[in-house]
Structure 1
Amino acid sequence: MKELVKKLTEAFGPSGEENKIREVILDEIKDYADEVRVDVLGNIIARKKGAGEKLMLAAHMDEVGVIVTNIDDKGFLRFSNIGGISPFTLIGERVVFENGTVGVFGMEKMDDIKDLKLNKMFIDIGARTKEEAQKKVRIGDKAVYYRNCDIIGDYVTAKALDDRAGCAVLIKVLQNVKSSRFDTYFVFTVQEEVGLRGAKTSAFGIGPDLAIAVDVTKTGDTPESEKMAVELGKGPAVKIMDRSVICHPKIREMLIDSAEKNNIPYQLEVLEMGGTDTGAIHLTKDGVPSGCLSIPTRYIHTPSEMASIDDMEKAVELLLYVLEK
Structure 2
Amino acid sequence: MSYSLNKELLTEILSIFSPSGNEGLIRHLIEEEIKDYVDEIHTDALGNLIARKKGNGRKVMVAGHMDQIGMMITYIDDHGFLRFTNVGGLSPAVCYSQRVIFENGTIGVVGTEKLDSLKDLTLEKLFIDIGASTREEAEKLVSIGDTCVYYSEPLIDDKKVISPAMDDRIGCFIMIEAIKKINESPYDLYFVFTVQEEVGIRGAKTSAYAINPDYGIALDVTSTGDTPKAKTMAVKLGNGPAIKVRDNSLLCHPKIKNHMVKQAKAHNIPYQMEVLEFGGTDSGSIHLTREGVPSGVLSIPTRYIHTDCEMCHITDIANSIELTAKILEAEIEA
SS at match of 2:168: helix
1:312 partnered with 2:313: no
Q: 1:276 aligns with which of 251, 261, 281?
A: 281
Q: Name the counterpart of 2:14.
A: 9
CA contact (8 A) 2:58 2:188 kept: yes
| Counterpart for residue 286 of structure 1 | 291
Q: Which residue of 2 aligns with 1:120?
A: 125
**1:32-83 deviation digits (Å, cap 9, x = unpaired):** 1100000011000000011111000000000000000000000000000111
Deviation at 1:131, TM superposition (A): 0.5
- Aligned pair count? 325
Q: CA RMSD in A?
A: 0.7
1:322 paired to 2:327? yes
Q: Residue type of the partner of 2:133?
A: R
Shift of 1:154: 1.3
Which letter does structure 2 place at the counterpart of 1:165?
Answer: I
Please give the alpha-carbon distance, in whole angstroms, between the structure 2 residues aligned to 1:298 and 1:281: 26
Within the candidate set 190, 193, 201, 1:196 is matched to: 201
The 5 A counterparts of 1:1-325 are: 1=5, 2-325=7-330
**5+ residue gaps in structure 1?**
none
Structure 1 consecutive aligned stretches of length 4 or more whose deviation exceeds 4 Å = none
| Separation in structure 2 between the aligned mates of residue 323 and residue 90 of structure 1, nearest angstrom | 39
Identity %: 57
Q: Answer with 231-240 or 152-161: which moved more.
A: 152-161
Q: Which amino acid aligns with 1:207?
A: N
Structure 2 gap ranges (5+): none
Return the TM-score normalized by structure 1: 0.99
Indicate conservation of the 8 Å contact 2:158/2:314, yes or no.
no
3-state SS of 1:100 partner: coil
- AA partner of residue 251 (structure 1): I
* SS of 2:136 mapped into structure 1: helix
* Superposition TM-score, scaled by structure 2 size: 0.96
SS in 2 for 1:298: coil
**C-alpha deviations, 1:185-222, integer Å up to 9, x for none?**
00000000000000000000000000100000000111
What per-residue deviation string (whole Å, max 9, x for no partner) do you get for residues 271-301 of structure 1? Answer: 0110000100000000000000000000000
SS in 2 for 1:252: helix
Structure 2 residue identity aligned to 1:262: H
